[in-house]
Amino acid sequence: MIDQIKTIAVAGAGAMGAGIAQVFAQAGYEVKLYDVNAAQLDKAKAGIADNLQKAVAKNKLPEKDKDNAFALIRYTSDVNTLKADLIVEAIVEKIEIKRELFTKLAAINGDTTILASNTSSLPITQIASGIPHPERVVGMHFFNPAHIMQLVEVISGAETSAEVLETMKSLTTKIGKTLVVAKDSPGFIVNRVARHYYVESLRILEERATTMENADALMESAGFKMGPFKLMDALGNDVNFAVTSSLFNAFHQDPKFRPSRIQQQKVDAGHLGKKSGRGFYSYE
């Protein structure tokens, strides 16, 4: 089926959605990038242009390829224009909203349009429940920033067809990413393993065992590129807290996944990290 994928749509023009759209465009695909917020689309367009220019400046991308990739992306705030062979959603991490979007997309697309979720923690089987032809619903989880990070998790739900799974595996390889196939379990592979990098660091802070600066310095000295608190700020405390909460509930409130009150307070205060100018650290 990979030869039948000519056009791709990405729903959600945040940092993840914009990065995913850029990845597909650089691979030569025509891409529609959708968001309900027109201002977010403008921000995404400027961000993609900046990313491509930086790649040229670092001699990682020829000028001609930069222009071609940028020209392949179209921007829209009309969900009814999202007709494509593959649609990847990168919207808020709430299962009801993802289902609602996929239901709308199923109504305006053919039965063979593949509906892929970039969810980092929600079960693909639950997202596909109630969607017409759930066999075409699959997980395609990129990592932030999507245009730089090589790994992509491809997840098969209980109803996902073998043909769709193989198509997504081939596509992931075709766009130059490193493929890992994961079972449809909470957090899949990476987020389940990495969760304790955040959760235990926050617990240490709650217990006042050390400072966040010391925790970051310690982990970086051990070989990690970013300490846990710097990384949570980079990813977004709202996103990180939502994923932890999702895993906590998925594992029936297993204490080892308990979300942190400190991080919840950050989210409540709007201290989301780099994107808001303030998180555990200040970026203003």
Q: Which residues are catalytic?
A: 120, 141, 153, 191
| Long-range own/partner contacts, residues 126-130 (CB < 8 A, 24 or more apart) | 126/95, 127/95, 127/98, 127/99, 127/102, 127/157, 128/102, 128/157, 128/158, 128/159, 128/160, 129/99, 130/99, 130/103
∠ Cα 268 270 54 (to 5°): 140
Q: Backbone dihedral region of 202: left (phi > 0), alpha (psi from -120 to 50 degrees) or beta?
A: alpha
Strand partners, 152: 142, 179
DSSP per residue, 124-142:
HHHHHTTSSSGGGEEEEEE
DSSP string, 40-106: HHHHHHHHHHHHHHHHHHTTSS-HHHHHHHHHTEEEES-GGG---SEEEE---S-HHHHHHHHHHHH
The answer to whether 8 touches 168, Cβ cutoff 8 Å, is: no
Strands 137-142 and 114-117: parallel
Cis, peptide link before residue 255, omega less than 30° from 0: no
